[in-house]
Amino acid sequence: VIGEHGYSSLAVWSSVQNGGVKLLPPGNEPGDLENAIHSEVVNAAGVVIAKKGYTNWAVGMACAEIAEVVLGDLRLVLPVSTCVRGYAGVAEDVFLSVPCVVGSKGVIRVFDLELTASETALFKKSASTVWDAQKEVWDRM
Supply the residues annotated as catalytic. Answer: 5
Residue 34: φ, ψ to 5°: -60, -40
Alpha helices in the chain (DSSP H): 32-52, 56-71, 117-140
Cα three-residue angle 61-66-71, rounded to 5 degrees: 125
- The per-residue b/e assignment along 109-129, b for 16 or more CB within 10 angstroms, e otherwise, is ebeebebbeebbebbbebbbb
